[in-house]
A and B are shown apart, each in its own frame.
Chain A
Amino acid sequence: MSGPAILSAAAGVEALALGAGGPQGPKPRRALSRRNVFVYGTLLVVAVYYLLPLYVMVVTSLKGMPEIRLGNVFSPPVEITFEPWARAWSSACTGLNCDGLSRGFWNSVRITVPSVVLSIAIASVNGYALANWRFKGAEIFFAILIVGAFIPYQVMLYPIVIILREIGLYGTLTGLVLVHSVFGMPILTLLFRNYFASIPEELFKAARVDGAGFWGIYVHIMLPMSLPIFVVAVILQITGIWNDFLFGVVYTKPDLYPMTVQLNNIVNATMGVKEYNVNMAATLITGLVPLVVYFVSGKLFVRGIAAGAVKG
């Protein structure tokens, strides 16, 4: 479109060049461009790569043993049966007993719930104190806490056994809850500190002028503003503690083993034939809790992570 055309239009002459024809509105996009093929192709390959094992597990857990022996790992079940799931839950055998995963499930619940509540309660107050009440030595305290997050667990495994033994909590669920709470502290404190640091400082000052104290500000001002970060912390802790194997096997006794340890024992128990379908079902049941947590709160999780990441 050239200058004279525009000029003549401006002069009131109806110019064809400005009227009909020519590009108009949004630019059309081809559905099957090279770019689209590449992007969606890559996504598809990656998705299949991740989902294939899950598919094999689900399919296998729904097959009977005769069908599994045929060796067609990827073929869907001819005859769907939920019997392996029932067995995995209530009657699969470990080396010691034959009451399935149910015992471990309830142990895990009794470990996870108090650990999550305790660790988040303490860490949120920690983070709040570190972010808003800059007491003497706060920086050093925080540095020590963060260093704690980088010490390998192996180093601390045995000393903690001794500590728990000395205070009489070795082999109990209380002891394990304590260990989980302590080990969640560095990362959770960091998470909460960063979140609270991103809340405008003037809000905190205004509350102080209004006469609110340490707990008043925490309960009335900070807590109601922190739902996203609490969701993040709950998800991190539930999945982390639920999936824990090491601490569970080290610090508890066989009848108090969490679900993950129970699962391992079921899968590794060698009594006659390996029941792949039961093992797959047991694994899926164990993974169900974190999976459900992610599905239910995925959106809040992303929002919370983003909110906490603003300030470091």
Chain B
Amino acid sequence: MAQTAISVSVRDLSLSFGVVKVLKSLNLDVAEGEFVVLLGPSGCGKSTLLNCIAGLLDISEGRVFIKGRNVTWEEPANRGIGMVFQSYALYPQMSVERNLSFGLRVAGMPKDEIARRIARAAEILQIEPLLKRKPAALSGGQRQRVAIGRALVRDVDVFLFDEPLSNLDAKLRSELRVEIKLLHRRLKNTMIYVTHDQIEAMTLADRIAVMKGGVIQQFDAPQVIYNRPVNRFVAGFLGSPGMNFLEGRLEQAATGRRFAAEGVSIPLSTYDFETAPRPGPAAFGIRPEHVGLNSGAGWPFSASAAVEVVEPMGSDTLVWLKLAGQNFSVRVTSERAPRAGEMVTVGLDPLRASLFDDVGNRL
């Protein structure tokens, strides 16, 4: 991303609450107009990082730049950010209109300019009929639109979203997800979006930063993160149903490297190694949809197994069986789903697999 300007930059940022280090020397560069998702399990520090960027938390070490300006000691209002919260955080006693204008009134903006900006935001978000209502008279989706509008009217460079869809039901969530994506395409602002929902992350992001324990594990495009996870945590966190892991050993044979587990030996000639690993304990990870089921020859490795459980999920069906004595799932289209107890042939291609060493790093 060297060719585009940097919009938000976090340098060596650390945050401690007492002796607990919540964020550990984080670095993050977000390009102008980019949609970055901070993804991780609860307690990984993703919301904390967002609050640090917003200036709502005082950081312990490091610096924060927004639009090339060092805003480390700036008040949230002076950072050029707008923020949308999970609980919407609308001021309950104010009408939608007054909610939208509150920040502008605090800043002492002229009335006609305020009216102009509210009209624009209301038009973009299609909330014109709601302007006179109180938040209590709005549905969840409408409230979140107003909350987005409150960030919109401030005409800021950077939008920060703190799990904005987590309080909505599944259907509304997917609708608003699309709307946020459209909003980003229309406004072309930089957006930083915190979520624990991998679907949101995959669908919205230009780049995803997967976090764990206050450290960014991997920061890359969604497809790269999905297909080439840097460690076992990232591999397991993304994907639903999750990636299969076979525990075994990496071995060096005369014909090349092989992955060996109980009764199984997979040739790794097609695997794209990051390093030149030595033999030792390893895990072979492969996503259920990358496994072939009764799909003929031509696989570098195939084995037969008995189907144990079949889980229909609508368009797809998840087939559970045992490979090398370990649970293993295969995703097939529902028309091709076998029945429980049937014998099937499983085909694997290490090209689509991920190998991890005993501490979980990608090999």
Contact = CB atoms under 8 A, between A and B. Distances in A.
| A and B from one complex | yes
Interface of A: 200, 202-203, 205-212, 216, 220-221, 224-225
Nearest to B102: A210
B27 interface: no
A216 to B, nearest CB: 6
Contact of B102 (A200, A205, A212, A225): A212
B87 A200 contact: yes
Interface stretch (B77-85, B260-268, B293-301, B338-346): B77-85
A95 to B, nearest CB: 53
Given A205-B89, A206-B150, A221-B91, A211 B83 contact: no
A200 B147 CA distance: 15
A206 B85 contact: yes
Contacts of B54: 205, 209
Bin the interface of chain B by size.
20 to 34
Contacts of B89: 200, 202-203, 205-206
A209 B91 contact: no
22 contacts: A200-B87, A202-B86, A202-B88, A202-B89, A205-B54, A205-B56, A206-B150, A207-B102, A208-B56, A208-B77, A209-B56, A210-B77, A210-B103, A210-B106, A211-B77, A211-B107, A212-B102, A212-B103, A212-B106, A216-B106, A220-B102, A224-B93
Contacts of A203: 89, 91
Given A200-B87, A202-B89, A221-B91, A209 B107 contact: no
B103 A209 contact: yes
A225 B162 CA distance: 24
A211 B101 CA distance: 12
Contact of B82 (A202, A205, A209): A209
Given A205-B56, A206-B83, A211 B106 contact: yes
B103 A225 contact: no
Contacts of B88: 202
Contact of A209 (B76, B86, B87, B93): B76
A202 B85 contact: yes
A220 B103 CA distance: 11
Contacts, number: 62
A220 B81 CA distance: 21
Contacts of B75: 208, 211
B92 interface: yes
> Which of A203, A205, A207, A212 is the most central at the interface, judged by chain B CB atoms within 10 Å of its CB?
A205
A212 B56 CA distance: 13
Nearest to A221: B91
Interface string B58-91: 0000000000000000011110011101111111
A209 B77 contact: yes
A221 B107 CA distance: 16
A142 to B, nearest CB: 18
A205 B162 CA distance: 12
Contacts of A220: 91, 102
Contacts of A210: 77, 102-103, 106, 150, 154
A211 B150 CA distance: 12
5 A-B pairs with least C-beta separation: A211-B77, A210-B103, A202-B89, A206-B89, A224-B93
A204 to B, nearest CB: 8
Contacts of B56: 205, 208-209
> Which of B78, B81, B89 is the most central at the interface, judged by chain A CB atoms within 10 Å of its CB?
B89
Interface string B30-70: 00000000000000000000010010100000000000000
Nearest to A203: B89
Interface string B82-116: 11011111111100000000110011000000000
A55 to B, nearest CB: 45
B15 to A, nearest CB: 14
